[in-house]
Chains A and B, each alone.
Chain A
Amino acid sequence: MVLKLFFPQCCNTADSGLLVGRWIPGHNSAVVLAVIHYPFIPGQVKKYLSELQSQTQVDLTVLGSWSMPKEGQEGMDSFLKDLSTIFPQKCWLQLSREIGKRGFTCQVVQNNGRLLQDREQKNGEGDKIILIHYDQRKVMLSQLHPVQDVGQKSDVEASELRLVFQTVAQSQPLFFLDKYDDGPLKLSHWQSEGREASIIAELLKQASVPVCIFLTWLLSLWYWFCSFRILHLPPVLFISSKLSTCVQSVYRAVHFRTVFSPKKAGTHVEFMRKANIFVSFLVDIALGLLLISWLYRENRISKLADTLVPVADRVAKELQELLEWLMGAPAGLKMNRALDQVLGRFFLYHIHLWISYIHLMSPFIERILWYVGLSACLGLTFALSVLSDIVALLTFHIYCFYVYGARLYCLTIYGLSSLWRLFRGKKWNVLRQRVDSCSYDLDQNTADTALFPLQLFIGTLLFTILLFLLPTTALYYLVFTLLRLVVVLFQGVIHLSVDFINSFPLFAIGLRICRPYRLAEGVKFNVLCQEPGTPLHLMMEINPLKCSSVLQCYRTPTYSCYPKDSWAGLCKKLFVGELIYPWKQKTDKTD
């Protein structure tokens, strides 16, 4: 079996001393975390290690001895060998390095005193040793993907590398003692040259707790406001579930609560989620403020409001012309005169009502828009949701026409299909939800399932009527469905961009670009130069996660689902006349 030793790069030039680390359970390997220098008192070393063990939940032990003799320090070797009796171990490692040589030599002494040397056995017996050098600071800060919970798998099943990373990450308290501390022990690790800290970061950490508490209190005020009975009436609930602004505000409130909760993030996933949401908030608000400054600079918003009513008028006029065209002979088709006139006049009256309504509102539009525009300070996503809602309100008449046309067409199609089944002698069995055959038997016993000639006659009449009225209803349905699809498409584009801003993990991508070692997909090994008589030396580097994996892993889940009908399902619904809502949002009930 091969013994694998993970050795930190910072200890390559450390003075002689004891190796402190952990034996990885289940694999024949060990991680060296620090070197304790001479002089030391063994009792204090043991006390310190047991303190750290209780603090970090990592079973730190003395692994062996490290010797890098400087001038005037000969004779350490025998002293080092005697140390193995003071710290009883299953396996005692003796690493040594000479100045001027690059390779280490390593000897492993088992408990029963048997000395195992590496690479000296001719017949291939005995342990071989691999020394793997790693950058301690990077491995400590790094997180291996796919992320697993700490207590999820038992240590034996977890992979060796994952255990090494976990060990180094959990041993942070070991790295707090540096060479300027006046304690009894002198350690060598990545921070032993002196701990670095930034005043700004410390001040921000201290200030963040009261700020979080204050913001959480504000949020609780908002929730208290939203819990008023008057806001829970069914009509209000219905409208607020349809308006995308309300949905977006609820979603952002949940985010706000997550980010500004005073509790510190425990796991890596929670921390990344908080950081991503926080950065997304900042970017959102910054873009919103930019939009406000652009809109209000040259009084553009008043100009926008002034063009809104003429645009609505223009749309209504175009619709009127369209209906006049349909009432004539559209595209050379011959319509049923009576039905055409009825439907056309019905829709024209609706448009007339709509134009009057818009003209009624026109004096107030500018003021309303001015104040609504200010809501963009809550974020660009809010401004886009408000835009989507305004478009929905302004094209409400198109939506109504679509519903009327679709219902009429749907009725026609169902009637036709049912009567067509009648001719073929079949009937829809409601109980069994299937098509059953029906006989023309006039027997008394089966009277309820038989078809009388009268039924057949009326059925024929109705079928003929519906069939000849079909082109007219179909044409109206087609025209209004196309208009509705245009509006839906525009709203869909807005929703997609809101969704993109909501869910894009900016912090994770920034971390991947600036500190690629933090998000690790795996490791890379490089073989270091060999000298005969030394074990194999490898250099372990962190292989960063690919950008596409970062996006997939850290995407914030959003409320909107993409169209759940496939193209084929959508076409079928359009053909039959069912109402389509391709951008329906997820509610809790359907999850």
Chain B
Amino acid sequence: MRGCFLLLTPLVISMAEEEFTDINGNSISLDCQTHSDFCREFTVTSPKLSLRKVMVYTCFVWLFAYAVFFFTENTAVLSSAIILTLAGMMIHIHFVKVDHETLLIIGSLGVQLSSSYASGRESTIFIEMNKLKDIVINEAVYMHSIIYYLCILIKDPADPETVTSVVPLFQSSNPRLNCLVQVYRSCQEILAQSR
């Protein structure tokens, strides 16, 4: 292929990685990369899949299957337990377990949200700047706790004053307010430039 560019080499302007916690107390890390004056990328990395948990679940399921086999003497129970465990694990790492979430903000072009799953699958949304009204931190009351979350307010270009929808960010990693404030400040700097 002619003219291929190398993607994301370490030659970036500046990057910073910090440790924070999410709302449940697990430790997450925030990575800010500044590609240029008006282009920044924030990556929130969730804790990886814990091997201990996987082993515990697998042993539990298989012991249960052996117990059922002991009573029924039917080998279909064992094979179905194996298949179930494998299928469950594959579904979990491909659809459920999020490895890191990225927010790429490019002034006067738009904002890109991307979730990367444990199996490597990436799901991306790009929101153009003319549809973006603002980026704010909202608070939500959930059961007994108040959660802060960063969200993008979407507007219709024909009707700039009304907010048509709200897109919440970092839904799987759920960082706490201190992390959100840092991202918020950076984004507002860039948005102020492009207004």
Contacts and interface: CB of A to CB of B under 8 A. Distances in A.
Nearest to B107: A2
Given A102-B6, A543-B126, A529 B41 contact: no
A569 B91 CA distance: 40
Interface in A124-178: 124, 128, 130, 133, 157, 159-161
B56 interface: no
Interface in B4-41: 5-9, 11-13, 35-39, 41
A538 interface: yes
B170 to A, nearest CB: 19
A529 B2 contact: no
Interface string B154-195: 000110000000000000000000000000000000000010
A19 interface: no
B34 to A, nearest CB: 10
A1 B38 CA distance: 11
A524 B122 CA distance: 11
A522 B35 contact: no
A179 B2 CA distance: 17
A165 to B, nearest CB: 13
A128 B125 contact: no
A488 to B, nearest CB: 37
A124 B1 CA distance: 37
A525 B106 contact: yes
B5 A102 contact: yes
Given A2-B107, A2-B108, A130-B109, A528 B6 contact: yes
Contacts of B2: 9-10, 12-13
B35 A530 contact: yes
Given A2-B194, A12-B2, A530 B36 contact: yes
B126 A524 contact: yes
A526 B11 contact: no
B106 A538 contact: yes
B35 to A, nearest CB: 5
A543 B107 CA distance: 21
A529 B3 contact: no
B112 interface: yes
B35 A536 contact: yes
Contacts of B106: 130, 525, 536, 538
Given A159-B128, A524-B126, A543-B124, A529 B5 contact: yes
Contacts of B79: none
A4 interface: yes
B104 interface: yes
Contacts of B112: 524-525
Contact of A522 (B3, B11, B39, B125): B125
Contact of A539 (B1, B7, B109, B157): B7
Interface in B96-119: 104, 106-109, 112, 114
Nearest to B2: A13
Given A128-B37, A130-B109, A527-B41, A157 B157 contact: yes
Contact of A1 (B9, B12, B108): B108
A578 interface: no
Nearest to A528: B5
B130 interface: yes
Nearest to A526: B7
Nearest to B112: A525
Q: A11, A119, A133, A525: which has the most chain B beta carbons within 10 Å? A: A525
Contact of A159 (B35, B104, B157): B157
B124 A527 contact: no
B41 to A, nearest CB: 7
Interface string A297-324: 0000000000000000000000000000
A524 B194 CA distance: 21
Contacts of A160: 128, 130
Given A524-B126, A525-B126, A530 B12 contact: yes
B128 A529 contact: no
A442 interface: no
A187 to B, nearest CB: 15
A102 B9 CA distance: 12
Contacts of A124: 37
Contacts of A133: 5
Nearest to A160: B128
Interface string A108-136: 00000000000100001000101001000
Given A1-B108, A128-B38, A525-B112, A530 B11 contact: yes
A388 to B, nearest CB: 37
B6 A524 contact: no
A297 to B, nearest CB: 35
Nearest to B193: A124
A526 B4 CA distance: 13
Given A4-B108, A529-B11, A531-B11, A539 B126 contact: no
A530 B13 contact: yes
A1 B194 CA distance: 7
Interface string A91-111: 000000000001000000000
A529 B108 contact: no
A248 B57 CA distance: 53
A160 B129 CA distance: 10
Contacts of B107: 2
B155 to A, nearest CB: 13
Contacts of A119: 36-37
Nearest to B3: A12
A273 interface: no
Nearest to B41: A527
A526 B8 contact: yes
Nearest to A532: B13
A119 B13 CA distance: 13
A13 B1 CA distance: 11
A537 interface: yes
A531 B36 CA distance: 11
A364 B15 CA distance: 86
B75 to A, nearest CB: 35
A209 interface: no
Nearest to B39: A536
A536 B41 CA distance: 13
A523 interface: yes
A529 B6 contact: yes
Interface string A499-527: 00000000000000000000000111111
Contacts of B36: 119, 128, 530, 535-536
Closest 10 CB pairs of A and B: A12-B3, A529-B9, A2-B108, A528-B5, A536-B36, A524-B124, A522-B126, A527-B35, A13-B2, A13-B3
22 contacts: A1-B108, A2-B108, A10-B2, A13-B3, A102-B5, A119-B37, A128-B38, A159-B131, A524-B114, A525-B126, A528-B8, A529-B7, A530-B12, A530-B13, A536-B36, A536-B38, A536-B39, A536-B106, A539-B5, A539-B7, A543-B125, A543-B126
Interface of A: 1-2, 4, 9-13, 28, 102, 119, 124, 128, 130, 133, 157, 159-161, 522-531, 535-539, 543
Given A2-B38, A133-B5, A527-B39, 7 more contacts: A13-B2, A159-B157, A522-B125, A524-B124, A525-B106, A525-B112, A527-B35
